[in-house]
């Protein structure tokens, strides 16, 4: 069988597991492999949840604090004394990287050394991650989709070029017009390589404006990313492209972390371990959104492949890693897979993870692409989550040329950029509230299915649902400038951000909350402020519809909201 992610990459280019690891046979003695070594505990660790700055960046801590996410023991690094015990063994074992969330280490060594490692009292067990050592192949040249396959995706807005249709379909052009282009948002792109990214004209603003935060190559264990396979270049361009009159992506002002986790020359669980390491890096660096156009179903022998039953949200290493990433406050956006017309048929890991966005592919008319993988997850959850343009999507090649390609691989970054801009526009939302807002306002929200999930989201529709009294027009222009607005709406814990019209600024304010009967259920005084937004904490309200009234002297404004 053709390895799943390698097939995805080739598919995209040509057209435009810890559970299974357990008790795997050791590699032949003398051959250096990579193994995942699990420790028994974190006893005696010098790290503490009370001092997260020792292992998390200030940005990572701020992301968690903003969302009310506590630092837990699972976030602590592995005990360095345990790592030292491995490194002190004969056979020269090399600890490639460690996993906080799995309390494990990826170790490079031969089977004799692995036996000594597993005999250590601090080690619970180990599994071999890779089975072959292959020479890296040259990057294949991308093949363009014929113009006939574009089906109406010719640009109708000169500045966006061929990216216009995929951008406008999800409201990204209106998002840009409203001033949200991903500024200040950090996006990590996990892929197979980024050749040409540092030379493509449409991507030069990333460098000119110092918006490349980091590069990490987890395959070769270094920081070189402008090599290997161009699939990552294609995917990044759908987000970061920023050359007016030629090509504009969905979050052209975001800050990027480029991570190589995928080796398309073979397919083994080491790549999922790389995904885990990249996700933990993204967490520690304070990344907001992960865009991953990778998927795992089938491995090269003798590694054991998955079955559909394993797509249950708790088996594959990449799936479990994606779930952890969601739990610490990142929005994970994952391609659903290109197996719709293949025997596998269903989504791939990590698209089966809970609490993430799994992306299906549609054409420019919103019609599902035949190759797009189906749900549900094996445990019955709606999958995919959302959809974006992945049939005849426009991306950039390493030489800077634009071409059209097919794949949920391309739908994923197109949507990931909009997610970043939407979160920028609604900064008080948590990661899960961002997902909920997009899902509840998408085209199939009233009747989701297992081919397109909740459908195609739209920035304007989702934004206006949160800001009903200060909506955006279809072109992103703000409406009702003298109206009071609040978000999030619906709200869940009584915490609100009020958007004050000019008539209510620079003077003391009185706030009252009235229930559906008109009874006052909460009230407070607010100090004078010249700010357009002010945060208020109302306390826990019963579920229902409310009116928020803010007054200053004779000036009064009201806005309705729903408490969930």
Reduced to 3 DSSP states, what percent helix, strand and coil does the chain have, rounded to the nearest 5? 30, 25, 50
Q: Chain-centre distance of CA 433, in angstroms?
A: 14
**CA dist 264 to 76, 103, 378, Å?**
32, 27, 26
- Residues listed for the chain: 564
Residue 65 to residue 71: CA distance in whole angstroms: 9
- The answer to whether 191 is a known catalytic residue is yes
Nearest to 334 by CA among 301, 296, 302: 296
Check if the beta carbon of residue 338 is closer than 8 Å to that of residue 349: no
| Inter-residue contact 521 to 514 (CB < 8 Å) | yes
Say if strands 520-526 and 533-537 run parallel, antiparallel, or are unpaired: unpaired
Is 224 a catalytic site residue?
no
Which of 537, 534, 540 shows the shortest CA–CA distance to 524? 537
- Residue 91 CB coordination number (10 Å): 14
What is the Cα–Cα distance from 257 to 243, expressed in whole angstroms? Answer: 20
Catalytic residue from among 191, 263, 283, 300: 191
Close Cβ partners of 50 (under 8 Å, ≥ 6 residues apart): none
How many degrees, rounded to 5, is the angle at CA 255 between CA 155 and CA 279? 110
The dihedral region occupied by 313, where left means phi > 0, alpha psi between -120 and 50, and beta the remainder, is left
**Number of Cβ atoms within 10 Å of the Cβ of 217:** 21
Catalytic residue among 35, 176, 186, 231: 231
Cβ atoms 197, 236 nearer than 8 A: yes
443 is catalytic: no
Q: Which of the residues 237, 409, 443, 451 is marked catalytic?
A: 409
Residues known to be catalytic: 191, 231, 409
């Amino acid at each position: 069988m053709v390895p799943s992610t390698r097939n995805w990459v080739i598919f995209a280019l040509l057209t435009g597991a810890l559970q299974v690891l357990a008790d795997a046979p050791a590699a032949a003695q003398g051959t250096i492999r990579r193994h995942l070594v699990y420790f028994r505990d974190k006893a005696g660790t010098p790290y503490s949840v009370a001092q997260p700055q020792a292992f998390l960046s200030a940005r990572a801590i701020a992301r968690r604090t903003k969302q009310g996410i506590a630092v837990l023991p699972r976030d602590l690094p592995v005990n360095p004394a345990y790592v030292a015990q491995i490194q002190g063994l004969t056979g020269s074992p090399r600890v490639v990287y460690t996993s906080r969330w799995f309390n494990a280490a990826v170790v490079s060594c031969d089977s004799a050394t692995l036996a000594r490692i597993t005999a250590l009292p601090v080690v619970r067990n180990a599994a071999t991650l890779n089975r072959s050592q292959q020479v890296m192949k040259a990057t294949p040249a991308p093949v363009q989709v014929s113009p006939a396959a574009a089906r109406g995706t010719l640009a109708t807005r000169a500045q966006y070029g061929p990216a216009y249709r995929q951008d406008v379909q999800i409201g990204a052009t209106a998002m840009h017009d409203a001033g949200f282009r991903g500024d200040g948002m950090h996006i990590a792109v996990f892929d197979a390589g980024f050749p040409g990214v540092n030379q493509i004209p449409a991507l030069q603003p990333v460098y000119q404006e110092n918006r490349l935060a980091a590069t990490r190559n987890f395959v070769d264990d270094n920081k070189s990313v402008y090599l290997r396979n161009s699939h990552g270049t294609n995917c990044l361009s759908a987000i970061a492209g920023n050359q007016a009159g030629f090509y504009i992506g969905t979050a052209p002002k975001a800050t990027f972390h480029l991570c190589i986790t995928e080796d398309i020359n073979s397919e083994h669980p080491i790549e999922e371990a790389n995904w885990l390491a990249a996700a933990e890096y993204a967490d520690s660096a304070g990344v907001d959104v992960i865009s991953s156009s990778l998927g795992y179903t089938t491995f090269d022998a003798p590694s054991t492949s998955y079955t559909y039953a394993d797509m249950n949200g708790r088996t594959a290493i990449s799936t479990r890693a994606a779930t952890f990433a969601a739990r610490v406050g990142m929005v994970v956006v994952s391609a659903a897979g290109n197996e719709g017309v293949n025997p596998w048929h269903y989504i791939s890991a990590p698209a089966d993870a809970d609490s993430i966005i799994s992306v299906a592919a549609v054409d420019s008319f919103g019609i599902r692409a035949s190759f797009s993988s189906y749900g549900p997850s094996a445990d019955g959850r709606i999958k995919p989550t959302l959809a974006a343009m992945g049939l005849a999507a426009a991306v950039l090649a390493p030489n800077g040329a634009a071409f059209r390609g097919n794949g949920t691989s391309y739908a994923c970054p197109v949507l990931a950029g909009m997610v970043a801009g939407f979160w920028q526009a609604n900064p008080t939302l948590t990661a899960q509230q961002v997902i909920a807002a997009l899902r509840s306002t998408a085209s199939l929200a009233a009747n989701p299915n297992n081919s397109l999930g909740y459908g195609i989201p739209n920035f304007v529709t989702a934004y206006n649902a949160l800001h009903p009294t200060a909506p955006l027009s279809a072109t992103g222009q703000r409406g009702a400038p003298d109206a009071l607005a609040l978000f999030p709406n619906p709200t869940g814990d009584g915490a609100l951000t009020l958007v004050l019209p000019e008539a209510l600024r620079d003077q003391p304010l009185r706030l009252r909350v009235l229930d559906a009967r008109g009874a006052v259920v909460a009230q407070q005084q607010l100090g004078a402020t010249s700010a357009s937004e002010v945060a208020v904490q109302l306390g826990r309200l019963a579920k229902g519809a409310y009116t928020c009234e803010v007054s200053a002297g004779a000036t009064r404004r009201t806005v309705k909201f729903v408490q969930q």
